[in-house]
Amino acid sequence: MNRVSSNLGNNNMIFHMRNRELEMSNKQNQMASQQRIQQLRDDPVAAAHSTRLQSYQTRLQRYEKNSHSALDAHRYTEGQLRHGVEVFQRVRELAVQGAHGVYSEQDLQQMAVEVDELLREMVAVANTRDGKGKAVFGGARSDNLPFQTATGNVPGAAKELITEVRYTGDIIRNMAEVAEGVHMPLNFPGNEVFWAENQQVFSTVDAAEYQVPANSVISLQGQEIELQEGDSVYAVMAKINDAGAGLRARLDPVQNSMVLETTSPQQLWVEDRNGGTVLQDLGIVGSPDDRPPHNLSPTAEVFGGSAFDMVINLRDTLLEGRSFEVGGAGLRGIDDAMNRMLGELGRLGAQSTRLEMGADKLSNDRLTVGEWNSRKVDLDMAEAITELKRLESTHRAALSTSARIMQTTLLDFLR
């Protein structure tokens, strides 16, 4: 026989009432947050899936933002390069006119004056800064102007003119991750964009019997190559040629010295690393205290110039009235420099198109992932409202029933 105390019904009623109030509170919290899952124990599997989806969606948002930043940088750089190409087209027109042979020396000198002004405009383009005050064509060293000019006396000129334009930036490309494992450049080093010819360095040191004295590291165009003690000059050249750094190495058959040449128009950027002296021993670089690209050995012969060198050469040739050379080496140098800039412009356009398409894809993917996550955690408001109304109705009915069944007496107040 079970004994039923006088408080059992009251306690049971209070217990179920509180449970119903808890259900109503949880449902109200879900409606306020519009999230079906308030705690992990509500649906552990869905919560785990939602965590992964939210993480992926955050990465997609970052990739999309990076894509738009890279696209803005590309468009700004493309605009500067287009202006540079227009300047070079005008320089080429003057070179073609000067090569006709029908103009007097005074006419050629007037053309040289305009070429010199166009040279200064090209230097201004190469030293362009973006909206953040960073040099566009300076590599990672973007706080300072990447191209420095030197002036001097030039035969036929009434004042000092620009005689040299030196690159003082670096070759580091700032990269932005625009997809999983996919990176796109944000900047373009000026010693590639504004270069006209393949650069060559001919050492004067006999290297036929050379061997690497100790384990060393050399850097070519920013790519490090490890050398082992005892490597011959032929092993060194093989490692350089197989590194894919955009350089070719060979042995000069006359002097048995090393020759380095870029495979595309750009400036050589070579140095010894970690205290090694291999390139210095081979006569390629000079003092280890000098930084690239101005660290080439003073005894080496260097060929291949920049776009500015081509314009300077054309200007000086016009000043001296040598129309035949204007149509020869002068015009060829201008064409080489303009072809290089047009190539960079085409590459910029292709990358910009890729970034636009990638950004659109990322936007669509982000929306799709958001829909997947919504199905996992979002609340069906119509269903939630119906459920809340059901809980409220049953709660009121329970309160009304308990009030009729559990009548209060004087003893309830005396207890």
pLDDT band at 326 (very low <50, low <70, confident <90, very high): confident
Instruction: Mark whether 178 and 320 lie in a shared domain.
Output: yes
Q: Are residues 174 and 78 in the same domain?
A: yes
Residue 74 lies in a domain: yes
The pLDDT of residue 355 is above 90? yes
> Strand locations in 131-265, DSSP E?
147-152, 161-167, 175-179, 182-185, 200-202, 216-220, 223-227, 247-251, 258-262
Residue 44 falls within a domain, yes or no? no
Structure tokens at 121: 């405009």
Distance (Å, whole) CA 288 – CA 217: 14
Q: Are residues 236 and 294 in the same domain?
A: yes
* Number of structural domains the chain divides into: 2
Cβ neighbors of 50 (< 8 A, separation 6 or more) are 37, 373, 376, 377
Is residue 266 domain-shared with residue 315, that is, in the same domain? no
**CATH code assigned at 183:** 1.20.1330.10
> Is 6 or 169 the better-scoring residue by pLDDT?
169
pLDDT at 4 over 60: no
pTM: 0.79
Do 268 and 294 lie in one domain? The reply is yes
One domain for residues 290 and 327: no
Q: Where are the alpha helices (DSSP H) in 320-330?
A: 323-325
Q: Residue 2: pLDDT above 60?
A: no
Mean pLDDT of the residues in the chain: 87
Is there a single domain that holds both residue 130 and residue 63? yes
Residue-wise pLDDT for 236-246, tens only, equals 999 999 998 89
Q: In whole angstroms, what is the distance from residue 215 CA to residue 218 CA?
A: 10
The answer on 186 and 89 residing in a single domain is yes
Same domain, 153 and 135: yes
| Residue found under tokens 């000092």 | 160
* Bridge partners, 161 (sequence order): 152
Percent of the chain with pLDDT over 70: 91
- 268 with 293: CB under 8 angstroms? yes
Do residues 291 and 327 both lie within one domain?
no
Residue 390's CB is within 10 A of a number of other CB atoms, namely 11
Q: How many CA atoms lie within 13 A of 265 on its CB side?
A: 22
Identify whether 68 is part of a domain: yes
Query: Structure tokens of 267?
Result: 């400036």
Is it the case that residue 415 has pLDDT exceeding 60?
no
Based on the fold, state whether residues 61 and 207 are members of the same structural domain: no
Using 50, 70 and 90 to split pLDDT, how confident is the model at 375?
confident
CATH of the domain at 224: 3.30.70
Task: For residue 93, give its domain range.
Answer: 53-193+306-365
What does the pLDDT look like over 28-39, one tens digit per residue?
Answer: 776 776 777 777
- Alpha-helical regions (H) of 99-154: 105-126
Query: Residue 356: phi, psi to the nearest 5?
Result: -60, -50
Q: Is residue 35 part of a domain?
A: no
Same domain, 241 and 310: no
Q: Is residue 1 part of a domain?
A: no
